[in-house]
């Protein structure tokens, strides 16, 4: 598996990272512990993944606990970069809201270290910008945690370049985590060039656009329980057919030009756009097999232009992923 250094931290990680939001169950219709543990262990042992992304809010501690358990039981802690997050609190009835205040961060780090069964978090990322706390103040607390040996590298997620400029006045920054996939390309105009210019690694989330780019979603797929795709604007009756038509054409291109699946094309494309890591959400071992198809080839400029033409034809006005943004204050 290809690897990349995370900013200037000296940490190296595989360019495909395992995303564990769905493994936490919340907003993904539940989770199966046995499958979750096997997915985490097999991603590392059999598919060369050395970065696992999680967050306290994923299942309100559940995802971090499962990551900690899988790595401890498998004796795998030293093989991976654990990337978790900080700065989302939640109400008693489990409604998340943003809070990157120093007090909240000091509490969260201890909770995350305990759940992850580790003494150090490799990459600690602020989950969403919190307008109530000056960004430099948040950065300064994270810098302290680094000095104390509780974290190794610092990242932010869902920040604009201006917000990152403010953050960097208070401390160092190695990585940014924005949404990025073939259907969600807003960062091409600002965050991605900013990352390149400032030596940041971009951990791109939703690399499969919540499964849409897996090539397996059909028009009649039904989602269970609290699955966020019930409310995802791209998965609605009036929009899904356009996205699926694009996926169909991309499938043809991937097969004809590269002999690959559309899923492999989607992930490879993310890796060929800059200093990126593609975060790939999986919760069953069967979903990992396709990871072996990502290395050893590239999406060339001609193919990129054909992809752009396909997207323009079917989705002239792409829908933003902003429906996922949590509120600034507790409701």
Q: What residues line the site for ligand NAP (CB under 6 A)? A: 19-22, 53, 127, 157-158, 177, 205-211, 214, 216, 263, 279-283, 287, 290, 324
Nearer to ligand NAP by C-beta: 300 or 323? 323
CB 87 within 8 A of CB 105: yes
Nearer to ligand NAP by C-beta: 53 or 99? 53
In the three-class reduction of DSSP (H, G, I as helix; E, B as strand; rest coil), residue 111 is classed as helix
State whether the Cα torsion 211-213-216-220 is positive or negative.
positive
Cβ-proximal residue to ligand NAP, closest one: 281
Q: Smallest gap, in angstroms, from Cβ of residue 58 to ligand NAP?
A: 7
| Catalytic residue IDs | 58
Q: Smallest gap, in angstroms, from Cβ of residue 228 to ligand NAP?
A: 8
In b/e form, how buried is each residue of 2-38, taking b as 16+ CB within 10 angstroms?
eebebbebebebbbbbbbbbbbbbbbbeebeeebbbb
Nearer to ligand NAP by C-beta: 51 or 149? 51
* The pair of three-digit structure tokens given for residue 2, joined into one six-digit string: 């290809």
Chain center to CA of 325: 14
Q: Smallest gap, in angstroms, from Cβ of residue 237 to ligand NAP?
A: 19
State whether the Cα torsion 124-115-39-152 is positive or negative.
positive
Helix (H) or strand (E) holding 45: helix 33-47
Nearer to ligand NAP by C-beta: 11 or 207? 207
Q: Smallest gap, in angstroms, from Cβ of residue 46 to ligand NAP?
A: 14
Q: Smallest gap, in angstroms, from Cβ of residue 221 to ligand NAP?
A: 9
Helices (H) and strands (E) in the chain, counts: 9, 12
Nearer to ligand NAP by C-beta: 97 or 147? 97
In b/e form, how buried is each residue of 245-265, taking b as 16+ CB within 10 angstroms?
ebbebbbebbeebbebbbbbb
């Amino acid at each position: 598996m290809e690897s990349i250094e995370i900013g200037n931290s000296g940490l190296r990680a595989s360019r495909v990272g395992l995303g564990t939001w769905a493994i936490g169950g919340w907003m993904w219709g539940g989770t199966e512990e046995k499958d979750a543990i096997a997915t985490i262990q097999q991603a590392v042992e059999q598919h060369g993944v050395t970065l696992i992304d999680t967050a306290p809010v994923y299942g309100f501690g559940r995802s971090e606990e499962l990551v900690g358990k899988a790595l401890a039981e498998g004796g795998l802690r030293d093989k991976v970069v654990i990337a978790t997050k900080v700065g989302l609190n939640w109400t008693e009835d489990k409604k998340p809201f943003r809070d990157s205040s120093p007090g909240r961060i000091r509490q969260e780090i201890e909770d995350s270290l305990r759940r992850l069964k580790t003494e150090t978090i490799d990459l600690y990322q602020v989950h969403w910008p919190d307008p109530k706390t000056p960004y430099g103040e948040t950065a300064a607390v994270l810098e302290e945690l680094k000095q104390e040996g509780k974290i190794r590298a610092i990242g932010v997620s869902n920040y604009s370049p201006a917000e990152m400029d403010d953050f960097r006045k208070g401390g160092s920054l190695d990585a940014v985590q924005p949404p990025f996939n073939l259907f969600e390309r807003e960062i091409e105009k600002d965050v991605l060039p900013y990352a390149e210019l400032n030596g940041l690694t971009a951990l791109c989330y939703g690399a499969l656009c919540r499964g849409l780019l897996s090539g397996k979603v059909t028009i009649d797929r039904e989602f269970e329980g609290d699955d966020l795709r019930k409310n995802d604007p791209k998965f609605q009756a009036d929009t899904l057919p356009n996205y699926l038509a694009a996926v169909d054409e991309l499938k043809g291109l991937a097969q004809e030009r590269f002999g690959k699946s559309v899923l492999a094309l989607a992930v490879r494309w993310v890796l060929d756009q800059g200093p990126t890591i593609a975060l790939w959400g999986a919760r069953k071992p069967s979903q990992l097999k396709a990871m072996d198809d990502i290395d050893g080839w590239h999406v060339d400029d001609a193919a990129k232009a054909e992809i752009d033409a396909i997207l323009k034809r079917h989705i002239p006005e792409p829908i933003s992923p902003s429906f996922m943004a949590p509120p600034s204050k507790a409701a």
